[in-house]
Structure 1
């Protein structure tokens, strides 16, 4: 009669790490240690009620150590060669220290009936408990079982495969972390560039508005100067017409004076003095009129100079307005170029975000696959067939 899987589960909890039956791998992922144990054909086994549980985990550890140096009756009988396909897989975790029993443990001796009686006696003694050494039936079983080399090789291969998968996962995780860091740095640089472009766009808009106000004021000044220039040109034309009329009158009066002088000379020669006095008075009046004409000519020339200076200033204003217009058009083109750059940066940001999401989904899929592979149980039938070979 054999022990069921669930009936001896709690008895194997304290014996998950026996030095004689453990196969420790040196891979990067040591979260699981597997034990492969052979069992002999059916032999009477003490029922579950007769098993004596260890009093504590420390007692169980001490009993597991003592079982290797127990009485000769227990250790002198060697384990027979495996004749059945039954095997036991004991798994333990570094954190939980728990075992999983997948089959029945059966032990047989080579001495026939005498060996069976001795084994039953030893098992009964172990079931009743040794007051001096504290051994149990579980100590005896764990002292008799031995590892199978082929199954150890399979375990090493499986552990190597798990180590390779763990290395691949860690490499993928490292690559993903590097990619995430690159994405973060790219996002920060794009954010800084976006902020700088926004500040530059704001300054350009402010400068554009200031230039618009300046151009408006310059155009208003230009209109005012144009009206002043038109008025001045009209006045200059009037002054020029007056000057022409005055010159004509002066020439006429000069001719009259010459005629009067000739008349005066004729009268003087004739002895008439009254006409000479009249001619002198007329000459004084002509001199006064000439002085007035000269004064008017001087004022006209000064007004002409003022008009010329105003014309030059108006031309300079026109040149300034044209230069401001060219500069504003250039800044408008720069603003359009910066807006296109901002649009391109936003598109690149959206593509980078999509790439980050795809990488995150890939990482989640890899993590779920690795967790599934860690939690999946190893099929026992291929191992048993390999053990039969």
Structure 2
């Protein structure tokens, strides 16, 4: 067997958890169902010609719809030339790193963060440091990576923060990457405004996808928003990596993008309220204000001696509730747990009932609690 110099052949903690739960603990979002029920019948028909390769930048009509949605959300003046369609946000991040980084370059990443950021970057030979430690080094980073709303803690960039980060990145000749995959799931507060000149200056790129806002992670369509000159460079690199994104997936994404911006916010706010109310009856976590955005609560265990990894293992094995321990994220700690409230209300209620029983000593558990009920 061919050896590998890095451990990226090992399955991630997320996938190992899913397999341990026999995929019964997958997030039970119905955001996609809620959206698809509202689509006109004609949108469900996928019409395309398979005789030609896709445009490596993405089909023009899809890019127009993406640009229009970005304009509606942020008051921008984008057109299709500002957009590069990718095979999900993950490919977008890989494409940016592959294009603009050399082995040995440093990337400053907002922490805590989704573990794949570090793994994508380090797998390409870059070094990753926390964003708040960047000023401690005399050697500036070639790339800075922000995520807002952030995963796992749901924080949203303050008004004007993006401009400050862009100014600092521009002074160092660095590329500022902003991952916004949760930007249509901001329940607690307004979406920060943006400045068109930040994108047109060529030092800022944004990444998004249909996975989170629409509850459609199986439709592997994401995109990069940036200055047209940068988009042209990325398109040339993307063509040599994978020719073009799937036409079928692009047609599905185009249908989803017809839906109004923030359509699912009332549904998400209701589920967040259910989770916050249920948490008030649990003493295993410290009380905390819910974050402004995302699908998650980033909770601290009340017992300083309790390990999050051990707690999450028990939750899955003994109660059938799938939670993510803090160590499953880059710069996460073993006193934190990420809890998703994106599930349908009946699943949320059942999951919290099981978590209440989990707080009692293990000897009081019954055999009936080992049945998986999905993710909380």
TM-score w.r.t. the length of structure 2 is 0.20
The structure showing larger relative contact order (alpha-carbon pairs under 8 Å, at least 6 residues apart) is: 2
Q: Which has the higher helix share?
A: 1
Q: Which has the higher strand share?
A: 2
Q: Mark the structure with the bigger radius of gyration.
A: 1
